[in-house]
Structure formats: structure tokens, C-alpha cells
Chain A
């Protein structure tokens, strides 16, 4: 090939590189720190496309810009947030304020996010710090928090003749049986087809045995699916309910959007979900002629010496991009959003600010004497261990793949029984614990 041809190819390649690499400067400016001057353009990437569309986000932005007139805020909503952000993180251009996607492991925080300071300095003011901290450095603040437990329809429970909320797995199964016998409702809805709601019950880890270190212990436990441990109780409840025929008839045709309407109108008795779902179910109730008061929330049916515990944990964590050109403004937005915007109250979430009152929809838990507990941070250096074991063993704790298999076994659609299924889980988990410890 002649020199000119090579030159042509080189020009083309250079153009391609120039096109893809035209972002990312300014981050090196020494005055561009989170303590600097609050000014500049701010791009906020959010998963709450509903708030962007209904104008609520514009109200937040207007209130913020009034307080910080030198900042100009722009918001971008992404429907498939977790998936799309994972791709965008491979560039330098992923907005100034982001919610930390689950794909980023704690030991990768520094590759993508701006450190906000020592975790110890935040501990007096804020809740839910563990999810966005690594080796004592804080990288983000939770946008709010949720309680884990079971969502139920009060009218269905009443019609079935359940007078007292169950506080043991056995009592819960008996209550579901009562619903099946006395009403037309589906006692417990798994949302098997959509899948992700199956992973919600994992949030109760620690609440069953009142052990705030349960998740870091599980990361090193060769057999977490052993009787008496949290995972065994959580997954047993699902297994036993399915095996006793207390869930929907054909799990392959469930539908999440429809399930909201069904639980609101009393066609479903209960679903294992976090408290974030309460407001959505209440909206569904109002929209379908039922009462929002019918939606109740209870702790996971287990107790330690008569006391029930419910785990509360942070939702998405807001963080500043390492490549932001206005880090001070981004940090100002996060603090303002968490403390002053009223977001947590509007969404009925637990505020990240430690001394803020609990949301009204959790008042039922307080009346029932349920203790709220937050999980302890993993020991330094092991922040990502639980995730690593889950990935390596392909037991997707946060997801639905192994729980769908569990439902299949329980309804007799796949070989095995509870013992063999849990033994298999223990074997896979144990092998990965051993591999990663070594």
C-alpha cells in the first residue's frame, strides 16, 4: 500500500479517536474540588424518570437554583438506569451527580467517584453510610432509606379472619392458608415472571436473628442455608408457601404492574417487598377505587425472644463523578437534596438525616413494637466480598435466578426437594467462599 493510502487510513483513525475522545478535561483543575466555589453547570442523571416527566424534578431544580444562583442544573432521566449507566461509566461523560449503580463494587469507587471525606465525619449526621463507603472513605449519600418486610392487604387479612399479624414463619404460613380457605385472593404473590421482586426478600438478611453483622458473616460462611440461619429462614418461607400451594397457580404468567392493582383491590393477600413499594400500591389502590389505608406493612415473620426486627437500608446513593467539572456544585446538590429538598418525605422514605422522623407509612411497625435495625459495615477490605462470592458461585442473592429455581423445585416442576436444593446452594456457596478466602 502506498504511503498516501496509509496516511489516509491514519487520518481516518485519528478522526475516529478525536470523535470518541473529545470529553474529559477540567477534572484536573486544582480548584475543582468539592470544597470549591459552588458554581457552574450541573448535569444530574437519575433513574426516577417518573419525577422528571411529572415536573416534580423541575421543582427541586428551581428551589436549588434559587438558593445557589450561580449554578445551572440540567436533569437527564434514564429508564434502564442500572444497565445504561454501566455502559456509560466506561466513558468519562456520565454526568456530575449520579446514583451509584449496583455494578460498581466498593473497591472500584475511586475509579469513578469523587471521595467526599472520612466516613467517621458523617456518622453523627447521616444514616445508611455503609453502602457507599470503602476503607473509611465516604463516596456517596443515600437518597433515602427503606424498611424490609412484607406488604399486605388489610381487608384480605380481615376477611380471612386473621386477627393478629404473624410473627413466626409457621404463623405466617397458617395465615396464608386461612386466606386461601376463606377468601378468593391469592395468599402470597411471588412475581416469578418479572423476577426481580423475588430478590427483595434478601433485604431481610440479619433481621431474622437480629444480627447486624449477618451479611459480612455470610460472605465467609461455607453453609448459609442451614437451619437457624437467616438465609435458610428467608428462602424456606418462600419454598414452604409455594410447596403448600399458597402462591399463584401459574408463576410463569405473573405481571408486576398488574400485581400492584391486584394487591390494592384485594385479589392478592401479601407480597415480600420493601417499604418503597407502599406508596406505589397506595396509588394503585386510589386509582382503582380502593382505599390507600388497605395497604399494610409488617416486619418479616420471625422474632428473637418475642421481639421482631426489621432491617432498614439505603436506596440509591448519590455521588459526584470523578470527571465532573463542577464538583463543588455537585456536592452542594447532594447535601441539599438529602437534607432540604423534601424528597424523602415526598416519597415516604426514611430520611438519610439521622434525626428526621420516620415516615408515616411505617407507623404500623412502631405500633407493633418492631425494632428498626441497620446492618453494620463489613470489615475493612471485605466491603465487596459478599458480592464477589455471589458472582463467583452464581448464586444471585440480589436477583431472581436461583429463587426461580427454588420455586420450580417447590412446585414440583424441577427435580429435588428442599433439602437437596439447599444442600446444592451450600455446596456452590461454600466452594466460592473457599476459593475467594484462599
Chain B
């Protein structure tokens, strides 16, 4: 414990006067002072332990029991729940649905990058457009679910607008299983694009402006500037976005849950976990599913870091 050894020394070094000037400096008083750094972090650490690590530990514990969420006794069943998660095809097939969201996340990143590039330059009304693009991210996800539910209804807003454009026979946006997942993924793009946009914008703006001036003097056009300056400059943010997209598309929840409740082939792994825990009352199995999802996300992140190592960005 390095802190233990160095803390008193530092305290003395930092505030020598305070120490000597204390009116009644008995030996008892030394201990509280050594404790000071611990007391400062105690509140934060105990909240972290209480609300993050303790529940997480409980999750691991539940995942090896047959608990139904209510009973006062929990029976230890070993790895049975994990075996079930990996052997029941009904549990794993929902990961295919995540592919829709993963595919959509590329569209999302592309759109976000496009707008971030344009609005980082001196475009007219750029602050207004920045606000407009970021705004959806600020809306409550449940509200978005309801808004789009009305939008996608037969004869709803989308159908009306399409009929102006002469499309007379639009599909059932949520009722047709071929279309439903694309509609939901599209909603997800609309919601989260603003977040990507702001991160890209921040990264692009941190690139020194002399580089653009130098490039312009050398006769580079906008597209060449984008490829040679912006793209390498924000490579780390793009990498981060991909990790977040993969993790996000594996754990999609609120949009399909609000809009379809997971019906019509739109169930995701998290919705299925909820149903297992609270509809089928198998909290043990559901906990195992949650642990498996965590492991998969960690694995994907690790693989991504191995494949695309974190290179230092050097624009000069």
C-alpha cells in the first residue's frame, strides 16, 4: 500500500506549519490525520461499492442459483444456467437482430462524420444546425419510442408524406417482419447520430487550423483535406465509435422494447433477458445471460484493440 507510507509524509511536507501550530497536538491526533485521504475517498468508494460492485457481485451469485426473484432460499445449481444459455438456440438466435443495428451504426457514423466535417467549417447558421442535429440525443428515449410509434402507424405521418411523393402502397413499417427491424434501426440512428456528431465535431475542431491553411496553400481541395487531415486526426475517435457501436448494437433495448415489445422478430438479447427474469421468473438464467453479454462485449472490445492498436496520432 503505497498510499499508507507516503500519505503522512506528504501531509507533513505540504503543511508543516499547520502541523506544528496545532494548539493541543497530542499523539492521538496523528491518526485522524493519516486517515484524512481515506476519509476523502471513503464516500465515493463506498457509493461505488454499494451501487456498482455489490450488485454486480450479486449478479454473478444469482447466475449460479435457480432463484425465481422472490423465494427466500436460493439453491446452488453450478453452471447449469450457463449451459442452458449456450445450448438453447432460442436464446442465441436473437443476436442476429443485433446485426441490423450494427449495420445501421455504419450509416450512423457516416452521416455523423459528414455533418461534423461540414459544420466544423464556416457554414452559414452552423450553430443552429449543430443544435438541430444534437437535439434528438437530448430527448428521452421512451418519448422517442412513442413519437416514432405514431409515425410508423398505417396511415401515419410517414405514409402521408410518402403519398405526397406518389408512393401509394407503403409497407407496414412495424407490422412487416422484413421491414420492422430496419424501421427500428433507423429510429436508433436518428436518436444516437447526434452523440456521434458532437464527438466528431469536438475532435475535428481540436485539429490546428494552420494545417488547413498550409494545405490550401499547397492547393489541396476539400476532399483531399478531409482524407489527409481530418480522417487521420480523428482516427482514435472513429475507433472508439466502432467499439461503442458494437457494444451498443449487442445491447439494444429501449427502442424495440417501447415500440414492439420484442414481438414480430424484433426481440434483442436484453429484451429476452428481461422476459426470462420477469415473465418466466428465471432470475438465475437471466443473470447468466447478463453475465454472458458482459463477457461478449468485453471480448469484442479486446479483439478490437488487438486488431486496431491505439496508434499515436501525429499530423505533422
Do A253 and B38 have beta carbons less than 8 Å apart?
A: no
Is B46's CB under 8 angstroms from A12's CB? Answer: yes
Given A8-B38, A252-B172, A86 and B69 touching (CB < 8 A)?
Answer: yes
In-complex Cβ contact of B278 among A83, A192, A250, A413 (8 A):
A83
**Nearest neighbor of B265 in chain A, beta-carbon distance:** A414
Task: Spell out B's residues near A (CB within 8 Å).
Answer: 1, 4, 31-32, 34-35, 38-39, 42, 46, 50, 68-72, 90, 149, 152-154, 172, 174-177, 180, 260-265, 275-276, 278-282
1/0 contact string of A1-39 vs chain B (CB within 8 Å):
110110011001000100000000000000000000000
Shortest CB-to-CB span from B59 to chain A, Å, is: 15
In the A-B complex, the 7 residue pairs with the closest CB atoms: A252-B174, A250-B175, A404-B263, A413-B177, A253-B153, A252-B175, A250-B154
A280 within 8 A of partner (CB) = no
Measured in the bound complex, the distance between the Cα atoms of B173 and A253 in whole Å is 10
- Which residue from chain A places its CB closest to the CB of B174 in the assembled complex? A252
Residues of B within 8 Å of A90, CB to CB, are: 70
A250-B154, A413-B176 known, 19 other contacts, Cβ within 8 Å? A2-B34, A90-B70, A103-B69, A103-B70, A105-B70, A193-B263, A195-B261, A249-B172, A249-B175, A250-B153, A250-B174, A252-B260, A252-B263, A253-B153, A391-B281, A399-B279, A401-B263, A408-B265, A413-B265
Contact across chains for A252 and B180 when beta carbons are under 8 A apart: yes
Cα of A400 to Cα of B263 in the assembled complex, Å: 9
Interface residue A104 (Cβ < 8 Å from any Cβ of B) = yes
Residues of chain A with a CB closer than 8 A to B31's CB: 2, 4
A324 to B155, CA, bound (A): 54
A12 touches B35 (CB 8 A): no
Chain A residues at the B interface, C-beta cutoff of 8 Å: 1-2, 4-5, 8-9, 12, 16, 83, 86, 89-90, 103-105, 108, 111, 192-193, 195, 249-253, 390-391, 394, 396, 399-401, 404-405, 408, 413-414
The 8 Å CB contact of B263, one of A195, A394, A396, is A195
Cα A401 to Cα B17 in complex, Å, equals 71
User: Are B34 and A249 in touch, CB under 8 angstroms?
Assistant: no
Q: Contacts A89-B70, A108-B71, A195-B261 given: A414-B175 contact, CB under 8 Å? A: no
Determine which of B4, B149, B152 lies in contact with A1 in the assembled complex, contact meaning CB atoms within 8 Å.
B4
Contacts of A252 in B (CB 8 A): 172, 174-175, 180, 260, 263-264
Q: Which residues of A contact B172 (CB under 8 A)?
A: 249-250, 252
Contact A413 B279 (CB under 8 A): no
A410 to B: closest C-beta gap in Å: 12
Distance, CA A250 to CA B154, complexed state (A): 7
Distance to closest chain A CB from B298 (angstroms): 27
Contact of B68 among A2, A105, A405, A413 (CB under 8 A): A105
A250 CB → nearest B CB, Å? 4
CB neighbours of A8 from chain B (8 A):
35, 38-39, 42
Q: In the complex, what residues of B have CB within 8 A of residue A249's CB?
A: 154, 172, 175
Give the distance to chain B from A240, nearest Cβ to Cβ, in Å. 19
Q: Which residue of B lies closest to A13 (CB)?
A: B46
Q: How many angstroms from the CA of A193 to the CA of B149 in the assembled complex?
A: 11
Q: How far is the CB of B185 from chain A (nearest CB, A)?
A: 15
Query: 24 A-B Cβ contacts within 8 A?
Result: A2-B34, A2-B35, A4-B31, A86-B69, A86-B70, A86-B278, A103-B68, A192-B263, A193-B263, A195-B263, A250-B174, A250-B175, A252-B174, A391-B68, A391-B281, A396-B279, A400-B263, A401-B275, A401-B279, A404-B261, A404-B263, A408-B263, A413-B177, A413-B265
- Bound together, the chains give a CA A12 to CA B39 distance in angstroms of 11
Which one of B50, B69, B264 contacts A408 once the chains associate, using CB atoms below 8 Å?
A: B264
Chain A residues with CB under 8 Å of B71's CB are 108, 111
**Nearest chain A residue, comparing its CB with the CB of B31:** A4
Q: Chain B residues with Cβ under 8 A from A251's Cβ?
A: 175
Contact A253 B264, beta carbon cutoff 8 Å: no
Which of chain A's residues have a CB closer than 8 A to the CB of B262?
Answer: 401
Bound: A401/B276 CA distance, A: 11
**With A8-B35, A12-B42, A104-B70 in contact, do A253 and B261 touch (Cβ < 8 Å)?**
no
Say yes or no: A1 contacts B261, CB within 8 Å.
no
Q: Provide the bound-state CA to CA distance between A408 and B35, in Å.
A: 64
A396 to B279, CA, bound (A): 7
Give chain A residues whose Cβ lies under 8 Å from the Cβ of B153.
250, 253
Contacts of B180 in A (CB 8 A): 252
Contacts of A195 in B (CB 8 A): 261, 263
CB atoms of B4 and A413 under 8 A apart: no
Q: Give A249 to B68 CA distance when docked, in angstroms.
A: 38
- A108 closest partner in B (C-beta): B71
User: With A and B bound together, what is the CA distance between A252 and B260 in angstroms?
Assistant: 6
Report yes or no: A396 in contact with B70, Cβ–Cβ below 8 A.
no
- Residue on B nearest A408 in the bound complex, by CB: B264
- Chain B: minimal CB distance from A229 (Å): 23
> Closest CB of chain B to A50's CB: distance in Å?
22
> Within the complex, what minimum Cβ distance (angstroms) separates A19 from chain B?
11
Nearest residue (CB) in B for A404 is B263
The smallest beta-carbon distance between A277 and chain B, in angstroms, is: 21
Contacts of A108 in B (CB 8 A): 70-72
Taken together as a complex, chains A and B put the C-alpha atoms of A83 and B274 apart, in Å, by 12
Q: How far is the CA of A84 from the CA of B95 in the complex (A)?
A: 30
In angstroms, Cα B72 to Cα A222, docked, is 31
Task: Flag if B261 contacts A193 (CB, 8 Å).
Answer: yes
Q: Please, how many angstroms separate the alpha-carbon atoms of A111 and B72 in the complex?
A: 7
Alpha-carbon distance A420/B63, docked complex (angstroms): 33
When C-beta atoms are compared, the residue in chain B nearest to A407 turns out to be B263
Nearest residue in A to B178 (C-beta to C-beta)?
A413
Residue of B nearest to A413 (CB): B177
Q: A89 CA to B177 CA in the complex, in Å? A: 39
**CA A351 to CA B148, docked complex, whole Å:** 44
- In whole angstroms, how far apart are the Cα atoms of A249 and B155 in the complex? 11
Contact B35 A4 (CB under 8 A): yes
Q: Could you tell me the distance between the alpha carbons of A408 and B282 in the complex, rounded to whole angstroms?
A: 25
Which residues of A are found within 8 Å of B152, using beta-carbon distances? 253
Residues of B within 8 A of A4 (CB): 31-32, 35
Residues of B within 8 A of A250 (CB): 153-154, 172, 174-175
Q: A251-B175, A408-B177 are in contact. Are A193 and B90 (CB under 8 A)?
A: no
Q: How far is the CA of A103 from the CA of B172 in the complex (A)?
A: 36
Contact residues in B for A399 (Cβ distance below 8 Å): 279
Indicate which residue in A12, A104, A413 contacts B175 across the interface (CB closer than 8 Å). Answer: A413
